[in-house]
C-alpha cells in the first residue's frame, strides 16, 4: 500500500496569542459591549464627550433624562458644593472636590453637553488645570468625572481630582473617567440636598432653591468657603462665605445692614439666613 502523504501544518501560534484570540471570540459570542464617544467641546483646558454603549451592534438603553437644561451658574454652585475626603500618606484631609479655577469652564461644558445628549448618553469631562512655577514651568492637574440626569437627580461621579499628570505622560491621551474604577484614594462627602452615589459620587436635588446662591459646606468643625466665579480670595474675613469682591456698592450696604441687624438681635439667625439668600439671589440672577 502506498502511504498517505502527510498534511503540511502551518506555523503554530504562540500560547499568549492563542489565549487572546480565544478570549476575543468568547466576548464576541457572549455579546461584547463597547463605548462610543462623541466629542462635544475642547476649550479652556476642558474636554467634554458624550458616551453611549453598544451591545451586539445595538445601543444600550439607559433612560437618562436627556436632553436637559440647567443654568450654568446653578450648575457651578452645585459643583462647588461637592466635598471630598482625601487619604494621602496616612493622613485624611477634606476640601472642595473641584478646584475653583475649573468650576466655570466645567459647568459651561456640561450645560452644552446636556442640551445635546440623548437618553442613552452620559457626559464625560476631563479638565486640566495648569499651575505656574518659577514663572516658566507648569504642573498640570487632571480632574475627570461623569455626569447625567436620572430620577430628577443630577449624578456627578468623580474619577480623578487634582491628579498631577506625570511629565513623561503630558503628550499622551488623557485617562478617561470610568465610574466604579477607583483611581484615587478619596471619597465624596455629600452636603445638603445631596445623597451618596457610590463612594466617589453624589446624586443632587439640583432644582432645589439652595443652589440659587453659593453654598458653604459645614461638616463638624470643618468649614470651607465657596469662591464666586473666578474671583481671588479677599484679604481678611469675608461675610458668611460670600466673596464681597463680586458685589456692588448697594448690595454691600444691604449686606452690612443685614449683618448689623443680626448682631443687634433684631432678627433671628434663620431670618438672617433667609434674607441673605434672597439678597444674593436677587443680585446674581435678576
pLDDT digits (tens, 9 = 90+) for 134-181: 655 678 999 999 999 999 999 999 999 999 998 877 778 899 998 888
Q: How far is CA 166 from CA 127, 135, 136, 141, 171, in A?
A: 15, 19, 17, 9, 10
- pLDDT surpassing 60 at residue 226: no
User: 250: pLDDT confidence band, cut at 50, 70 and 90?
Assistant: confident
> For 140, phi and psi rounded to 5 degrees?
-115, 135
**Over pLDDT 90: what percentage of the chain?**
50
Intra-chain end-to-end CA distance of the chain, in Å: 102
Q: What is the pLDDT of residues 86-120, one digit of tens each?
A: 988 888 899 999 999 999 999 999 999 999 999 99
Banded pLDDT at 17 (limits 50, 70, 90): low
Contact predicate 121/66, CB 8 Å = yes
The rounded distance, in Å, linking the Cα atoms of 103 and 70 is 15
Instruction: Give the lowest-confidence range in 9-13, 51-55, 56-60, 165-169.
Output: 9-13
Cα–Cα distance measured from residue 103 to residue 202, given in angstroms and rounded to the nearest whole number? 16
Nearest to 212 by CA among 71, 92, 109: 71
pLDDT at 286: 44
Q: Where are the domains of the chain?
A: 33-224
- CA nearest 113: which of 37, 227, 225? 37
Q: What is the value of pTM for the model shown?
A: 0.67
Q: What is the mean pLDDT of residues 256-275?
A: 80
List the single range of 41-45, 54-58, 102-106, 241-245 with lowest mean pLDDT.
241-245
Amino acid at each position: 500500500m502506498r502511504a498517505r502523504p502527510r498534511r503540511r501544518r502551518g506555523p503554530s501560534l504562540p500560547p499568549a496569542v492563542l489565549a487572546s484570540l480565544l478570549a476575543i471570540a468568547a466576548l464576541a459570542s457572549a455579546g461584547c459591549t463597547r463605548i462610543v464617544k462623541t466629542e462635544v467641546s475642547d476649550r479652556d483646558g476642558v474636554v467634554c464627550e458624550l458616551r453611549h454603549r453598544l451591545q451586539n451592534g445595538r445601543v444600550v438603553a439607559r433612560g437618562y433624562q436627556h436632553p436637559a437644561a440647567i443654568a450654568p451658574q446653578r450648575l457651578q454652585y452645585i459643583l462647588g458644593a461637592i466635598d471630598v475626603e482625601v487619604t494621602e500618606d496616612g493622613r485624611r484631609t477634606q476640601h472642595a472636590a473641584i478646584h475653583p479655577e475649573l468650576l466655570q469652564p466645567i459647568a459651561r461644558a456640561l450645560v452644552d453637553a446636556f442640551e445635546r445628549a440623548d437618553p442613552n448618553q452620559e457626559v464625560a469631562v476631563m479638565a486640566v488645570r495648569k499651575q505656574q512655577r518659577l514663572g516658566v514651568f507648569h504642573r498640570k492637574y487632571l480632574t475627570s468625572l461623569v455626569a447625567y440626569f436620572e430620577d430628577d437627580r443630577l449624578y456627578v461621579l468623580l474619577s480623578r481630582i487634582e491628579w498631577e499628570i506625570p511629565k513623561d505622560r503630558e503628550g499622551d491621551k488623557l485617562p478617561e473617567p470610568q465610574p466604579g474604577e477607583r483611581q484615587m484614594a478619596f471619597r465624596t462627602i455629600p452636603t445638603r440636598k445631596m445623597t451618596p452615589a457610590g463612594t466617589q459620587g453624589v446624586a443632587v436635588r439640583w432644582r432645589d432653591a439652595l443652589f440659587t446662591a453659593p453654598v458653604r459646606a459645614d461638616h463638624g468643625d470643618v468649614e470651607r468657603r465657596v469662591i464666586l466665579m473666578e474671583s481671588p480670595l479677599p484679604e481678611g474675613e469675608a461675610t458668611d462665605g460670600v466673596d464681597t469682591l463680586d458685589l456692588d456698592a448697594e448690595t454691600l450696604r444691604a449686606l452690612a445692614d443685614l449683618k448689623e441687624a443680626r448682631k443687634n438681635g433684631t432678627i433671628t439667625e434663620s431670618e438672617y439666613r433667609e434674607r441673605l439668600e434672597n439678597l444674593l439671589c436677587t443680585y446674581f440672577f435678576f
